[in-house]
Amino acid sequence: MSKQFDGSFREYLAAEPEARFTDWLAARAEPHWSMACTHPFTTAIGDGTMPREAYARYLIEDYTFITDLASTLGYLVAKAPGMPSKSRLSGFLALLTSEENDYFLRSFDALGIAPETYQAAAQGPVTRRFSDLLLSSAGNGSYEDGLACLLCAEWCYLTWGLREAQKPRPDAFYLAEWIDLHAVAGFQTFVGWLREEMDRLGPDLPPERQEKVAALFRKMSVLEVAFFEEAWTGQTIAIPDGL
Ligand SMILES: Cc1ncc(CN)c(N)n1
């Protein structure tokens, strides 16, 4: 994983001349970035050691998250600078609202979670913070701000998805398919594009805007850890107000 770094992108490049802007974002988000990508919840998905209650808790909460993620993508499609970017983002939005939505509905059914439960689920404090961050960054902030949030969420899932895909699939289809959704070639290509898009735009931002993007990526990493932690332990995780 990346080595923690506290300086500017310019300073990072001086130390690592080949580095990408997105390498800097990950380094600035350490240790939270690596903690998110390696959380015990993610390894339990691939090991087949996931407790049913923990996964049910996770899916109910995550369904509210991806509903707001779909709205975030709507903002990003609107703000994307040209047709190639709009096309990539709307393709992912289409996947989220069709194939991935279908995955959730089949998984709820298999886990005995009634529609009244997942449709009426109130977001817990961590998901509310996530949603505020995603929706305010993509809705009120710049394209790059929203992109940084989306990149963190999807790159984190690709990282653990590719790792868990090395193991034999667990028997439960809802675990096996969740790995596949985050390791298939199409998802790798999309996250690869998100990185390239950020690498293309980030270096030309003024230093204070680069700092803002790095702070957003870091906040998202902290929230990804807290989100897994809540699902895993069933305990409410306190997030510092200043986050
Ligand atoms: C909390 C969270 N972060 C990211 C992802 C990947 N879309 C997700 N499903 N849930």
For residue 90, count CB atoms less than 10 angstroms from its CB and return exposed for 0-12, middle for 13-18, buried for 19 or more: middle
Mutation to probe ligand 1, out of 151, 224, 229, 239 (largest number of atoms < 8 A from CB):
224
- Model pLDDT, residue 243: 73
Mutation to probe ligand 1, out of 151, 157, 239 (largest number of atoms < 8 A from CB):
157
Cα(242) to centroid(ligand 1), Å: 23
Residues 57-74: b if buried by 16+ CB within 10 A, e if exposed: bbbbbbbbbbebbbbbbe
Confidence of residue 236 (pLDDT cuts 50, 70, 90): confident
- Model pLDDT, residue 144: 98
Percent with pLDDT over 70 in the chain: 100
Question: Do residues 113 and 60 make contact, with C-beta atoms less than 8 angstroms apart?
Answer: yes
- Model pLDDT, residue 2: 82
pLDDT at 1 over 80: no
- Domain segments of the chain as ranges: 21-233
Confidence of residue 11 (pLDDT cuts 50, 70, 90): very high
Ligand 1, atom nearest to 69 Cα: 7
Determine the topology of domain 21-233 in CATH: Heme Oxygenase; Chain A (1.20.910)
- Model pLDDT, residue 48: 86
Question: Do residues 224 and 153 make contact, with C-beta atoms less than 8 angstroms apart?
Answer: yes
**CB within 6 Å of ligand 1 — which residues?**
62, 65-66, 153-154, 157, 224, 227
- What are 20-61's pLDDT values in tens digits? 999 999 999 999 999 999 999 999 999 989 999 999 999 999
Confidence of residue 240 (pLDDT cuts 50, 70, 90): confident
- What are 84-143's pLDDT values in tens digits? 999 999 999 999 999 999 999 999 999 999 999 999 999 999 999 999 999 999 999 999
Cα(14) to centroid(ligand 1), Å: 33
Question: Which residue has the least CA distance to atom 5 on ligand 1?
Answer: 153
Task: Tell me the ipTM for this assembly.
Answer: 0.99
Ligand 1, atom nearest to 154 Cα: 6
Question: Which residue has the least CA distance to atom 3 on ligand 1?
Answer: 153
Question: Which residue has the least CA distance to atom 4 on ligand 1?
Answer: 153
CA distance 115 to 227: 22
